[in-house]
Chain A
Amino acid sequence: MADTLTIRTAGLVTVQDLGRVGRSRYGLPANGAADQHSARVANVLCGNDDRAPLLEITALDFACVPSGDILIAVTGAPAEVSVEGVVRPQWEPLPVRAGETIRVTGINRGLRVYLAVLGSFEAERLQGSCAPDTILGFGPPLRAGDELALRTACPPIDHPFSRIPLFRLNAPVPPFPASWTIDVTDGPDRAEFGDTGRRLFDAPFTVTPRSNHIGLRLQGAVPRRVTKGEVLSRGVPIGAVEVPAGDELLVLHRGRGVTAGYPVLAVVTATGLSALGQVRPGQTIHFRHRTLDQAITAHRAQRQAIDALRSRVRMAFEALRIRAPADLFNPGQL
């Protein structure tokens, strides 16, 4: 029988991947890991395909136990990670023996932790992705006692002098500040806000508790539209900064409805969206204006850092005779 990963303390945890692509046309939002960078890195550290299912642990304490020996990686928000009571590092692969308890606690800087397992685990899919879709009622949070079937075992590779870190792979770790700087480029409807559009950059905004993976609501000095007239519903990108009626800014995130009728003042950059996936209600955001070139350069640099990490992981795994799952399964199957 296949090995399993049993959830002991559920908190708020879901099975995630990078999201549902190619379905916007049919009205389905992308969804997927709110912090795409951390999710990718977790899978890469396990030698997995970037799109492999992994766990997204939001804010609350979490614990699980594998029935066989596995290799995991924990990324995302800073947390206290322990294996059988011993504190272990994030952003590195961690060997875990059968029956040892993995705990993730103390998430209070940043919001979401990602836990990937070498070889990943079986996950139900909808339209090619296991990402939860709250509107469709797909992918509900896991509960204590749930078991995930692991796709592959990892030979025990604990270090003979056990708790000396086995890996030093130098994964690209983003900052987790108390107050966030989020990069945006001009939106297609920037001109509709006249001079008030600059308010976006003049003072910080506070994230309200009515924020989630669909969108973040921000309070502050809100820009005002200077033109009138209805905007015909059209597709809006993830990251769109909209100004509905009222005193709040709305920043659309990965669960956003694909069509909307508000003018788009600015668009959060690809790297900014990963950061935004870690911002906690009550925290403040400073928006920083970027050109498209600056935004694209930053995104490509982040991806290149992941590609370089992938090479280091491959070398380390070869040296340790670990078969990387990305080689075992083709990405379409994962």
Chain B
Amino acid sequence: MTGNVTITDCGDSALVAKAVGLDAEPAWQLVHALADALNAVRLTGVHDVVPTYDALLVEFDCAATDHATVRRVLAHEAARLGPHPAPTTPPRRFVVPVVYGGEYGPDLPEVAAQLGLSEGEIVALHSGTDLTVRCLGAPAGAPMTDGPPFPKPVPRLASPRTRVDAGSVAVAGRQAVICPMPSPGGWPLLGRTPVRVLDLHSDPITVYRPGDTFRFRPIEPQQWDEYAELSLADCHG
């Protein structure tokens, strides 16, 4: 262990640095700052970093570097950053229109029943606060955000769907997500946004970063077409 992180081997081509002894928020800040720091160092052989909640996966080519070298640099950068690194980029906010319920959010009634709330209360909670993006995950750079302030965690579907439409807005546990592309999924669906989440022609393909926030805004099904030509980049606010 080095200060606030433990570093563990993860096969012959990866290491995991995990924040320890820190609350969720500083642990999350530390692993993202550590990912930025490692990218800035441009260490030979290291090709990918994946910061999530309290962990950072570092992938490298073990023909070009080795675990000891990557460990040393990670430990050095972690020590340099200390337990409370400042965010390197200011967060941005996206206001995302969502059609709730019906064919757009087929699990809204079930989620309401499970939480002992009305559908309207679920929508009000889901769209009533800014939700912070914690990391980008599967599939396809999906923004994994903190969940809305529901009274208890939301169970996953007993039987995952083989296909969830692009733009679907889902919740599970104490997390929320937008599904950027059609894909299988086991999270209950509350609604769907007409705006395009990804831009395959920009690099990166996502406009949002960890630390940015989403605010969902309920719209009517009749308004779908008004937003269908927009991309998430247009929803800055």
A binding-site residues for B, Cβ under 8 Å: 21-30, 126-128, 133, 135-138, 185-188, 230, 232-240, 256-260, 264, 267-270, 292, 295-296, 299-300, 303
Contact = CB atoms under 8 A, between A and B. Distances in A.
Given A239-B11, A267-B11, A300-B63, A21 B48 contact: yes
Contacts of A126: 200
A36 to B, nearest CB: 11
Contacts of B59: 24, 237-238
Nearest to A293: B12
A188 B183 CA distance: 29
A292 B8 CA distance: 12
A259 B137 contact: yes
Interface residues of B, number: 43
Contacts of B13: 237-239, 270, 299
A25 B47 contact: no
Given A232-B53, A257-B139, 6 more contacts: A27-B136, A188-B16, A237-B10, A240-B11, A295-B11, A300-B63
A259 B50 contact: yes
A27 B50 CA distance: 8
Contact of B62 (A21, A127, A232, A299): A299
B12 A269 contact: yes
A299 B204 contact: no
A24 B206 contact: no
Which of B49, B139, B183 counts the most A-chain CB atoms under 10 A from its CB? B139
Interface of B: 8-14, 16, 35, 47-57, 59, 62-63, 66-67, 135-142, 144, 173, 181, 183, 198, 200, 203-206
A49 to B, nearest CB: 16
Nearest to A184: B11
27 contacts: A24-B57, A25-B50, A25-B51, A25-B136, A26-B206, A27-B136, A27-B138, A27-B139, A126-B200, A136-B181, A185-B11, A186-B9, A234-B16, A234-B53, A235-B56, A235-B57, A237-B14, A237-B57, A238-B13, A238-B59, A257-B137, A257-B139, A258-B50, A259-B138, A269-B11, A292-B9, A300-B62
B233 to A, nearest CB: 15
A238 B54 CA distance: 20
Nearest to B39: A25
Contacts of A258: 50, 57, 137-138
A18 to B, nearest CB: 11
Contacts of B183: 135
Q: Which of B11, B14, B50, B139 has the most CB of A within 10 A?
A: B11
A267 B183 CA distance: 26
